[in-house]
Chain A
Amino acid sequence: MEKWRFLDTGRLSASENMALDEVLLECRARGESPNTVRVMQFSNPSVLVGFNQSVEQEARVDYCLESGIDINRRITGGGAIFFDRTQIGWEVICEKSFLGAGLPSTTLFESICEPVVQAIRELGIRASFRPRNDIEVDGRKISGTGGTDEGDALLFQGTLLVDFDVDSMLRALRVPVEKLKAKELESAKDRVTCLKWELGHVPGPEEIKSLLKRNFESAFRIELVDGGLTREEEILFNERKLFFKSPGWVHKVKSPGKEQITIHSIHKGDGGIIRTAMNVNLQQKRIKSVLITGDFFSFPRRTILDLEAELKDVKADIGIISEKVEHFFERTDCTVPGFGASDFVEGVKKCLDKVEITRFGIPLHLANRINAVNATFASVINDRPKHLLLPYCAKSPDCEWRYNEGCAECGECSIDNAIKLGQEKGMESITIQSFEHLMETIELIRKEGATSYIGCCCEAFFMKRLEDFEGSGMPAILIDIDSETCYDLGKENKAYAGQFERRTEVNIELLRMVLNAEL
C-alpha cells in the first residue's frame, strides 16, 4: 500500500498557513516531498480571499482590523471565506497522476471530497458532495473547497465548519446582505451549517482529524504516516513567511472599481414578496452571488439555496438567466407555492435594471437607490416627465408649509433645491402630504395628461406601498431620500397620518443626476 504523509500543522497564523500551501505544493512538484494530507487550524480568525479576488471587494477591512481578524490570500481559486478558530482545514497535495486527472473537473473534485463526506457521515450527519464542488448537508454548506496546480502536482483544500460564528462571518465578508438586518442574518444562517448545529455538541479537534485521516486512507487506499516538514520545506517556509505577510501579497489584486456593492430589489408576486440581493462583477458582467429571501416556503426546503447556487457566476443577461431559472424548476420538481419561475426571474431582472442605470453615468451605489415602477428607468427618462413629487418629511419641522401642500422656497431645507432643479427642467413640483394625497395626486396629474413622474421617498415606503405604486399603472422613477426615515424610528403610523416630526433630506446629488440623465 502506498504510504503518504499525514501532516498536522496545528495552529498557525493566516500568512503562515498560506505560505505553507505554496511551499508544500512547490516541493511536491519538484518531487522532493511526499504526497501529503494536511490538516490545519488558525491562531486568529481569518478572512481568506481567493487567488484573484480583491480584499476591498470581499472583506469589510475596517471591521476585520477592529476585531482582530487577519486577512490573507489563498493560492487557490474560489471565493472569500471566513475561517474562525474552531474550523479545521484539510488539504491534499499529491501528484496529478494519482487522481488520474490533469484537469480540474467535477470528477476530480468529487474524488477528493469523498473522504471528507464519509468522515462527516461517520459522525452521523447526512453530508454529500454538491457538483459545484462544495460539501453540504441538506443544501447547507459545511465545507467549501478550492484548488490549484503546479507542474505535475496539485493542491486541493477545504474547510470544515465545526462551531461556526456566522455573525462575525457576515460582518467580516461582504456577502450580499444589505444592512445586516436581523431577518437577513437569519436567512444567511440557513445557507451554512456546522458540526455543532447538526450534532448538538462540538467534537474535539483531535477526533475530527483522526476521522479525516482514516477516511482519506480508505478512500485513497493509502497508508497515512504522521510526519513533520522536511528540511527543504522548513527552509523554504522560513523564506516565504514574510512575503505572505506583506501587502504585496495580501493586496496583490487591486479592486477594479472600489468596494463591492450589493444591489437589491423587491418584487411582489401572487404569493408575496421576493427580495433579491446580488453582487455583480461589472467588468465581466457576471453575477457573483445572489441571496433570495422573502415570506415563502419552498419544497424541498433547499430549493432556494440550489437556485442561488445555480445563478452563481452566470452572465448578467436576463435571457440566459430566465432560461436557467425555468430549466431549474422544470428539471428539479421543486415548488414554491404562490410563485413561479417568472417571479424569481423578475427579482433578478429588477436588480439588473439597476445595473443598467449605470449606463446613464450614475454610479452603481447610487443606481441602487433608484426604483422604477411600471416601466424601465430608460423609458421614464425618455418620456421626459413633467412632475416632481417631493415628501413633506423633508420640509423643516417648524416650517409653516410642513403640513400643507406647497413651499415658499425660503432655502431652509432640501425641498427648495429640489424644486429649483425641477424648474430648470420645466417640471412642476408637488409636495406630498400623506399616502392618500399621493394617490390623489397621481390621479390628478394623469387627468392632466401626464404619463410618468419622478418622485422622492424613502425606500421603506416604496417597498411597503409597492402594490399601490404598481396598481396606479403610472410609470415612475422613485429616488430614495437621505437620513433616518420614519420607519427607522418606528414612526410610520404618525407619518401615515402626515404627522411625522423629523426632517429627512432629498438626495439632491442623485436627483440632479436623474434629471440630467440622457442616453
Chain B
Amino acid sequence: MSDIEGFNMPDDLYYHKEHAWVKILDDGTVKVGMSDFYQKNSGDTTYIDLPFEGDDVEQGETCGKIQSAKWVGKFVSPLTGKILSVNEDLEDDSTLINKEPYENGWIMTMKPSDLDGELANLFHGGAVSDFVKKEIADIDKKKQQQ
C-alpha cells in the first residue's frame, strides 16, 4: 500500500487519468476499478450502470455510468480490449466502490488487446504521485481564487 497525500494508491497498479485503476493478472487479463482518490473525492456511490460483458471497448471510451449523490459520472475504460466479466455485486451495493475500492469494489475484468502499448498512457510508479498531487493542486487553486 502506498499513501499519497492521504490517498491509498497501491504501487502495483496502473492509473488512468479518469481515475480507473488497472491490475495485471497472471494470465494476462486485467482487473479494473476506481481509485481511492476518486472515491474519497466523489463520496458515496449511489448507483452504477455497469459496462456490458462481451463488449469491445477502447482506451478512453465511456462504457458505464457511476452516480454519486448529485453527479452522474462516466466510467471510462482505461484500456482497449474485450470485457470478460463485470462485478454484479455492485448492483446490490454500489458503495463497495467506496468501502473496498481495490478488492470487492472492482468493476470489470478485461482481455486487453494492446497491453504493452497502452500501459504507457497510464500512470505508474513515481508518476502516480505527480498525477495525484497535480489533481489536488488544481482543486486547491480554484479554492483560493474564490
Contacts and interface: CB of A to CB of B under 8 A. Distances in A.
Contact of A105 (B46, B72, B95, B139): B139
Contact of B46 (A97, A102, A313): A313
B92 A283 contact: yes
B73 A104 contact: yes
A77 B72 contact: yes
Contacts of B142: 99-101, 107-108, 111
B138 A100 contact: yes
B92 A284 contact: yes
Contacts of A76: 70-72
Contacts of B111: none
A108 B42 CA distance: 10
> Which of A75, A77, A106, A283 neighbours the largest number of chain B CB atoms within 10 Å of its CB?
A77
Contact of A75 (B72, B92, B139): B72
Contacts of B143: 107, 111
Given A52-B47, A99-B142, A111-B143, A104 B68 contact: yes
Interface string B85-105: 000000111110000000000
B74 to A, nearest CB: 6
B135 A146 contact: no
A149 B74 contact: yes
A114 B146 contact: yes
A377 interface: no
A150 interface: yes
Interface string B13-26: 00001110000000
A145 B70 contact: yes
Contacts of A101: 135, 138-139, 142
Given A52-B47, A77-B67, A105-B41, A100 B139 contact: yes
A103 interface: yes
A276 to B, nearest CB: 21
Interface in B31-47: 37-38, 41-44, 46-47
B47 A78 contact: no
B72 A103 contact: no
Contact of A103 (B42, B47, B145): B42
A498 interface: no
A128 interface: no
Contact of A107 (B46, B47, B72, B139): B139
Interface in A296-322: 312-313, 315
A6 interface: no
A51 interface: yes
Nearest to B95: A315
Contacts of B46: 52, 77, 284, 286, 313
A148 B139 contact: no
A141 to B, nearest CB: 13
B146 A111 contact: yes
A313 B69 contact: yes
A507 to B, nearest CB: 32
B92 A78 contact: no
B73 A148 contact: yes
B69 A51 contact: no
Contact of A133 (B37, B69, B72, B93): B69
Contact of B42 (A78, A105, A221): A105
A199 interface: no
Contacts of A283: 91-92
Contacts of B69: 77-78, 132-133, 312-313
Nearest to A97: B138
Contact of A77 (B18, B19, B71): B71
A143 to B, nearest CB: 12
Nearest to B42: A104
B37 to A, nearest CB: 8
Interface of A: 50-52, 75-78, 97, 99-109, 111, 114, 132-133, 145-150, 219, 221, 283-286, 312-313, 315
Interface of B: 17-19, 37-38, 41-44, 46-47, 49, 65, 67-74, 91-95, 135, 138-139, 141-143, 145-146
Given A78-B70, A150-B74, A284-B93, 10 more contacts: A52-B49, A77-B67, A78-B71, A101-B138, A103-B41, A103-B42, A104-B73, A148-B72, A221-B145, A286-B46
17 contacts: A51-B65, A52-B72, A75-B72, A97-B138, A102-B17, A102-B18, A102-B19, A103-B41, A104-B70, A104-B73, A105-B41, A105-B139, A147-B71, A149-B74, A284-B94, A313-B46, A315-B95
